[in-house]
Amino acid sequence: MTTDGPGSGSGSARWVVPVVVAVIAAVATVLAAVLPWLLDRGGDEPQPRPGAGRTTSGPGAGGGPTPTGTAVLVSVDRVVTSLGSTDVDPDDGDGLADLSAADDKLTAISPAQLAPLEPGERPSPAFCAGLPEDAWVGAVGPPTLASGRTLCLRTSAGRWGAVAVTSIEMVQGKLAYAQVRATVWG
In a domain, 6, yes or no: no
Contact 78, 99 (CB under 8 A): yes
Q: Give pLDDT, residue 70.
A: 60
- Please tell me the total count of domains within the chain: 1
* DSSP at 122: -
In a domain, 176, yes or no: yes
Helices then strands (H, E): number in the chain? 2, 8
> What secondary structure does DSSP assign to 134-162, as a single string?
GG-BSEE-TTTS-TT-EEEEE-TTS-EEE
Better-predicted residue by pLDDT, 82 or 174: 174
Distance of CA 19 to the CA centre of its chain: 29
C-alpha 114/C-alpha 65 separation (Å) is 15
In a domain, 151, yes or no: yes
Answer whether residue 140 shows pLDDT above 90: yes
In a domain, 150, yes or no: yes
Better-predicted residue by pLDDT, 89 or 131: 131
In a domain, 4, yes or no: no
Residue type, 138: G
In a domain, 181, yes or no: yes
Residue-number span of the structural domain to which 135 is assigned: 72-185
Q: Give pLDDT, residue 9.
A: 53
Rounded to the nearest 10°, the torsion over CA 51, 56, 57, 62 is -160
Planar angle of CA 136, 140, 143, nearest 5 degrees: 125
What value does the mean pLDDT take over residues 101-110? Answer: 85
Q: Give pLDDT, residue 52.
A: 35
In a domain, 109, yes or no: yes
C-alpha 145/C-alpha 149 separation (Å) is 7
Contact 160, 128 (CB under 8 A): yes
> What secondary structure does DSSP assign to 16-74, as a single string?
HHHHHHHHHHHHHHHHHHHHHHHH--SSPPPPPPSS-S----STTTTSSPPP---SEEE
In a domain, 169, yes or no: yes
The sign of the dihedral angle between the CA atoms of 79, 163, 63, 70 is positive
Specify the range with the lowest mean pLDDT, choosing from 17-21, 123-127, 150-154: 17-21
Rounded to the nearest 10°, the torsion over CA 71, 94, 61, 105 is 100
The pTM of the whole model exceeds 0.75: no
